[in-house]
C-alpha cells in the first residue's frame, strides 16, 4: 500500500512552462507546495529547478524555484515531482 505524502490538495492541470535553461515542460498537477511535470531528458534527484509560466488571460507570470523530490522515467518522458521553495506571481512587462 502506498502512503500519501502530499500536504496540500493538487489540481490536475496541463500547462506549459519554461525552465531556466530554455527547455519546455508540461505540468500534470499543481498544489500550493509543489507540482508534477513532464519533460524530455534526464534530471537529477535533489537538483534545483527554476521555471516560469504565463498565467493565461491575466497578463501575469508565475516564477518559482523548487527541488526535485522524485524522478520517474517512462515512454521517453521524464516525470519530475518538484517541491516549491520560492515562488512569486508578478505582472508581465
pLDDT tens digits, residue range 13-71? 898 999 999 999 999 999 989 999 999 988 999 999 999 998 777 889 999 999 999 99
pLDDT of residue 6: 55
- By 3-state DSSP, what share of the chain in percent is helix, strand and coil, each rounded to 5? 0, 60, 40
DSSP letter at 21 equals T
How far apart (Å, rounded) are the C-alpha atoms in residues 4 and 62?
27
If one compares 6 and 49, the residue with the highest pLDDT of the two is 49
How far apart (Å, rounded) are the C-alpha atoms in residues 1 and 4?
10
Residue 5 confidence (pLDDT) above 90:
no
pLDDT of residue 63: 92
CB distance 49 to 20 below 8 Å: yes
Amino acid at each position: 500500500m502506498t502512503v500519501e505524502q502530499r500536504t496540500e490538495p493538487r489540481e490536475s492541470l496541463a500547462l506549459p512552462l519554461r525552465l531556466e535553461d530554455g527547455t519546455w515542460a508540461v505540468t500534470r498537477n499543481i498544489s500550493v507546495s509543489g507540482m508534477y511535470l513532464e519533460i524530455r531528458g534526464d534530471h537529477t534527484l535533489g537538483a534545483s529547478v527554476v521555471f516560469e509560466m504565463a498565467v493565461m488571460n491575466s497578463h501575469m507570470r508565475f516564477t518559482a524555484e523548487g527541488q526535485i523530490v522524485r524522478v520517474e522515467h517512462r515512454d521517453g518522458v521524464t516525470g519530475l515531482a518538484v517541491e516549491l521553495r520560492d515562488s512569486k506571481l508578478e505582472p508581465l512587462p
